[in-house]
Amino acid sequence: MQDQNLGGSPVMDRQRALVRAIERWRDARIEEYWIGVSYMGPAVNRFGDHELTVVKGELWHRWDGQWRKIARGSDYWLFSVPGAFAWARDVLRRTQGSGQPQPTLELEFDETLGYVKRMRLTAAGRDASNFTFEVRRFGRGPHPAFTGQGVGG
């Protein structure tokens, strides 16, 4: 089974693909990275393009040209690699076997490193549930513009 586009696959196949993606990420042993993501959905505070970096185990979000430390479990934490894995797992759980018309879930993982490249949920008649999360850029090491200083650091 292909991990890339799982929109029409059964839930168990998607869960297995998620587990394989997490294993690829762990096998890569990346401790520091930066990521550029795009989010469109009902969470207005997260809407748009975002730059994040993980340095020395801390997640930082670039906002108005300044880096801000992000607490684990906060909104922007979902945009980190582990956060996106947890988000994908939670969406998979919420969309299975509810007895209601099932929303369409598209999941795409990076073939080499395993991170969530794209996640899109489309639920007919439930616009407040629909969203698209997409990784547009990824790099190893700290973000090139990260200075090691910011708010909360």
63-117 pLDDT, tens digit per residue, is 888 999 998 888 789 899 999 999 999 888 877 765 666 678 889 999 999 999 9
- The answer on pLDDT for 139 being more than 80 is yes
- Tokens read off for 36: 């550029």
Q: Which residue has the higher pLDDT, 76 or 22?
A: 22
Which residue's structure tokens are 């998620």? 18
Q: Which residue has the higher pLDDT, 130 or 69?
A: 69
Say if pTM beats, i.e. exceeds, 0.75.
Answer: yes
Q: What is the mean pLDDT of the chain?
A: 84
- Tokens read off for 15: 């869960």
Alpha helix segments (H runs only) across 48-140 = 81-94
- Tokens read off for 75: 């909104």
- Predicted local distance difference test score (pLDDT) of residue 147: 87
Kindly report the number of other CB atoms within 10 A of residue 29's CB atom.
6
- Predicted local distance difference test score (pLDDT) of residue 59: 95
Q: DSSP letter string over 37-83?
A: EEEESS-GGG-EEEEEEEETTEEEEEETTEEEEE-TTSGGGGGSHHH
CA 103 to CA 3: how far, in whole Å?
Answer: 19
Backbone dihedral region of 56: left (phi > 0), alpha (psi from -120 to 50 degrees) or beta?
Answer: left
Q: Which residue has the higher pLDDT, 52 or 76?
A: 52
CA 98 to CA 30: how far, in whole Å?
Answer: 36
